[in-house]
Amino acid sequence: MKTEHSNKFEEVTVQTEAIFKGKIISLQVDHVRLPNGEMATREIVRHPGAVCVLAVVNGRMLVVEQYRKPLGRSQVEIPAGKLDPGEDPMEAARRELEEETGYRCGELKLISSFYTSPGFADELLHLYYAEGLTAGEAHLDEDEFLDCEALTLEEAKRYMAEGRISDAKTITALYAWQAYQLTGSF
């Protein structure tokens, strides 16, 4: 992917206040100069980046149900996880898929990389497509609890209508899969 970056309307950092450094995210407040010379503050969450996988077995996508503390409830999502320091995103996708579902995959194809919340966070999420999977045994992290199932496109759309699937990465994966089924490309 050729990447073209623009700095139009750049906001120049005058000062950065470090607020918090956690296990996963950190938070800072930047004091910036706007294009019109005025000052403003920007609340910014730093995140190591993450991966997720649209993994299709016999015409069904693999999903996992897990509790999401920020939402106070469980969600059905495609397998995903954050990047370890220095980890290659494709290797991370392969690792997360196997840890959460037990399935091993051959070649992975990058569908898209996207920022989840560019207004306040730098989290970049890499979405991969995997076929040709081999079943095996899941091996979860010690603080990870989840159930795995496999859905047709119609079932997944029904989950979406019911609100059981309601996160950006899984909905993006669903639409990308539909586009692939209808047009042969993502």
- Binding-site residue total for a copy of itself (CB under 8 A)? 82
Q: Which is nearer to a copy of itself, 3 or 58 (CB)?
A: 3
Residue choice 15, 35, 59, 131 for contact with a copy of itself (CB under 8 A)? 35
Residue choice 117, 131, 136, 139 for contact with a copy of itself (CB under 8 A)? 117
71-94: b (≥16 Cβ within 10 Å) or e: eeeebbbbbbbbbeeeeebeebbb
Alpha carbons 36 and 12: distance in angstroms, whole number: 11
Place of tokens 């991370």: 92
Contacts of 28 by beta carbon, 8 Å cutoff, 6+ apart? 16, 17, 18, 19, 44, 46
Residue choice 27, 138, 148, 150 for contact with a copy of itself (CB under 8 A)? 27
Residue choice 29, 110, 148, 150 for contact with a copy of itself (CB under 8 A)? 29
144 in catalytic set: no
58 binds a copy of itself (CB under 8 A): no
Alpha carbons 11 and 136: distance in angstroms, whole number: 49
31 binds a copy of itself (CB under 8 A): no
* The amino acid at 78: I
184 binds a copy of itself (CB under 8 A): no
Kind and range of the H or E element at 33? Answer: strand 26-33
Q: Exactly one of 4, 38, 137, 142 is catalytic; which is it? A: 142
140 binds a copy of itself (CB under 8 A): no
Q: Which is nearer to a copy of itself, 95 or 166 (CB)?
A: 166
Beta-ladder partners of 138: none
Q: Where in the sequence numbering do the catalytic residues fall?
A: 142
